[in-house]
Amino acid sequence: MHTLVAPHGSPSLKPLLLDGSERSAEKIRAAHLKHVPLTTRESGDLIMMGIGAFTPLEGYMGHDDWLGCCKDYALPSKGGLFWPIPITLSTDEDHAKSIALGEEVALWDVETDSLIGTMKVEEKYRIDKELECRQVFRTTDPKHPGVQKVMEQAEVNLAGPVKVLSELYFPEEFKGIYQRPAEARKLFEERGWSTVAALQLRNPMHNSHAYLAWIAIEVCDGVYVHQLLGKLKPGDIPADVRVRAIDALVNKYFRKERVIQGGYPMEMRYAGPREALLHALFRQNYGCSHLIVGRDHAGVGDYYGPFDAQKIFSEIPAGSLKIQPLCMDWTFYCYECGSMASMKTCPHESKAVIDENGNYRGGARLLLSGTLLRKLMSEGRPVPPEFSRPEVIAILKQYYDSLTEKVEVTLHSAATGTPGPNK
């Protein structure tokens, strides 16, 4: 009998999304409640709780869980259950004062100006933002996009159980890609899969991604290409373009019975190692037994070493997660080997030289990264054919040609193969 991995901290998924008459009644009741505005990050987290991706959370974290999560990866309210990144909601001081403990409030998505859920406020508290940033992001540098988000949070956190009433635009805008964990599990079970490797994507799928996925298929029943549909930092490629690019590659270059595509509504935090743990946790809820962890997973700039996100899995308490990391070395195209390769397999150490016109001028290893691909495309420079499939490049070129304003893309060490300060 094929059995998928159990959800995190629970024998079954715990979705908080209301349906049918329950949802209708709660919407009517919410019309008379005070509004609490949610940022895009907070709304994404709420939907993740709604669909059961953040099982077994029941709402935004209180102070003790926030502190335990930051310092010890643990939630005291759930017997010390492992959790790597705080899931919190903040509001300004005056608004917090107007809300009584025990009062129910309507959770309002600012981006769409719509009701998304309700919450019973059981706690109001302040946090040490610098402590959270040091623990979660390993930096307090305001240039780090995750740090910037935390520092921009309002003064007071609200905590309590939630009821989720909407998945916003995700089901319609990303029809066929957006999935709830229960839906993904059903697909895996229908195919008889018990071992499933998740491939986290926030960039269009280039040849290194495809190579990692093919390796995973060799050791697991199938691969779950799971892409982020929430907000990204400036310069990143938007989700709708990325979905089309990934479709083009997967549909032509993968065996259809060995790959399933999905998408989730969370926003990137760019927390590197800590975010890799969160990615693993909610992929376990989706039914995945493994998470592919390659170079610079969920990183940004030079804040993390290229393999810190792999090392952290050996640093957390044993048994914290049932899902396992599938650690992959640095991958690249090798002109000497004539194929994709990794540092574990390829003996040719010289770096490939590509001129301004995209022509190969010597050397062996062409290092591939999403950042480098974005830089080449944003500057209108040719992309070497070894970098990505022509179908993908055509879609990205159309997107970049349509832009009226260009965002400068800065290369960091993990994108170029140069050791950074944290290597």
Output the furthest CA–CA distance in the chain (Å, rounded). Answer: 69
- Give dist(CA 199, CA 213) in Å, integer: 7
Q: What is the pLDDT of residue 406?
A: 65
The tokens describing 289, both together, are 């037994």
pLDDT of residue 418: 44
**Could you tell me the fold of the domain covering 20-168?**
Sulfate adenylyltransferase (3.10.400)
Task: Report the pLDDT value the prediction gives residue 407, as an integer from 0 to 100.
Answer: 58
**pTM > 0.85: yes or no:** yes
CB-CB neighbours of 340 under 10 Å = 21
Do 101 and 122 form a contact (C-beta atoms < 8 A)?
A: yes
Q: Which of 39, 263, 45, 62 is nearest to 148 (CA)?
A: 39
Given phi > 0 = left and psi -120 to 50 = alpha, else beta, which region is 113?
left
Residues assigned a catalytic role: 202-203
Kindly give the confidence (pLDDT) of every residue in the chain, 423 residues in length, as a single tens digit, with 9 standing for 90 and above. 569 999 999 999 999 999 999 999 999 999 999 999 999 999 999 999 999 999 999 999 999 999 999 999 999 999 999 999 999 999 999 999 999 999 999 999 999 999 999 999 999 999 999 999 999 999 999 999 999 999 999 999 999 999 999 999 999 999 989 999 999 999 999 999 999 999 998 888 889 999 999 999 999 999 999 999 987 777 778 888 888 988 898 889 999 999 999 999 999 999 999 999 999 999 999 999 999 999 899 999 899 999 999 999 999 999 999 999 999 999 999 999 999 999 999 999 999 998 877 888 999 999 887 777 778 888 888 888 888 899 998 998 898 888 877 655 565 454 444 444 444
Reading the block at residue 156, the tokens are 């007071």
CA distance 173 to 244: 13
Q: Which among 397, 384, 422, 146 is positioned nearest to 248, based on CA atoms?
A: 397
Residues 6+ positions from 176 with CB-CB distance below 8 Å: none
Looking at domain 172-264+270-328+368-423, does it have CATH number 3.75.10.10? no
Domain ranges of the chain: 20-168, 172-264+270-328+368-423
Give me 115's structure tokens. 């009701």
Locate all alpha helices (DSSP H) within 145-296, ordered by sequence: 145-151, 170-173, 181-190, 207-219, 239-253, 273-286
Give me the helix-helix angle, 129-137 and 63-72, nearest 10°: 40
Q: Please choose, from the candidates 296, 253, 246, the residue with its C-alpha nearest in 3D space to the C-alpha of residue 396.
A: 246
Beta strands in 51-188 (DSSP E): 59-60, 74-75, 81-82, 89-91, 104-109, 114-120, 123-125, 156-164
Region of 310 on the Ramachandran plot (φ > 0 left; ψ -120 to 50 alpha; else beta):
alpha
Q: What is the pLDDT of residue 329?
A: 92
Q: Do domains 20-168 and 172-264+270-328+368-423 have the same CATH topology?
A: no
pLDDT at 384: 86
